[in-house]
Amino acid sequence: MKLYRSALVLALALLPTCAFAQDPTIVRQEIDRRPYIYIEASGRIETAADLTKIAISLSEKRKSPEEATKLISDKIAQLRAALTQLGIADSSVETKSFQFAKVYLIAKDKKGEPVSSFADPDRDKFDGFRATYDAVATLATTDRIGEVLSSASALGIEVDSVTFASSREAEYVEQVRKIAADKARSRAEVYAQSLGGTLGDLLNVKEGTGYNPDTMAHTALEGYADLAVLDPSTAPMAIAPGKLTYEASVSAKWALAPAK
């Protein structure tokens, strides 16, 4: 009887292992062993910026939400008017966030130090409402940056960053992708002919580089950005548009067929 129970326990212990081995959701990837040509190529375009993006922020504290809101709205309206006077009538100010928060004066201990880094409504003294406004002003020019920053500063508006962009960004992204694809195809044809063969069917293609030629799986760091990127060069003090760089890369795999 003891031997029977031991055999039963052993059989039950093996069941999960057997079920896992026969799991139909586990699929093994078969590698295509046919001869192939694998190419990585990239495209690059440099162009001048024609847009300026200025990230601004404004924070005001008043006794009521209405007062804080009105003060921020008035200053943004004044900024728009100042931009119009500078001849930047086609500029736009896009709101990114607008938040309200109650403000509390955190209690202090006997040494004059705050008792906590977080406000507690049951302990601390209420001190009004704070409204915080974040926006991006997009200007269809790169020539009036200093005047715009001066106008913002005069109104107490903080400038968080100044970056540059192109109104033709979508067009440039398409162009660099085509350049990368054309380079890959041209190189593959040269190699195929030099090796005494011809370029066969396109077996696989992916945007980006660093793929395993057999599986076309990314072998580099997970989450690596393969898409075309915008790389504006800006200087925070001596502000100048500089050059915008658009880049794209592609990995492609063709079958290597015998010469006809």
Q: Tell me the pLDDT tens digit for each residue of 147-165.
A: 899 999 999 999 999 999 9
pLDDT tens digit sequence for 87-135: 887 678 899 999 989 999 999 988 989 999 888 989 999 999 999 999 9
- Specify whether the CB–CB gap between 51 and 234 falls below 8 A: no
d(CA 146, CA 153): 11
> Which residue bears the tokens 């040269």?
190
- Specify whether the CB–CB gap between 64 and 259 falls below 8 A: no
Which domains does the chain possess? 31-48+169-258 (3.30.110.170), 51-165 (3.30.70.2970)
The structure's pTM equals 0.68
Tokens matching residue 229: 């990127």
Helical ranges in the chain per DSSP H: 2-21, 65-85, 145-154, 169-194
- pLDDT-derived band at 1 (thresholds 50, 70, 90) equals very low
3-state secondary structure of 178: helix
d(CA 127, CA 108): 15
Which among 248, 254, 233 is positioned nearest to 190, based on CA atoms? Answer: 254
pLDDT tens digit sequence for 202-258: 999 999 999 999 888 876 544 434 444 444 433 333 566 778 999 999 999 999 988
Which among 86, 90, 57 is positioned nearest to 144, based on CA atoms? Answer: 86
pLDDT above 70 coverage of the chain, percent = 79
Residue-level pLDDT at 143: 86
> Which residue bears the tokens 């309206």?
77
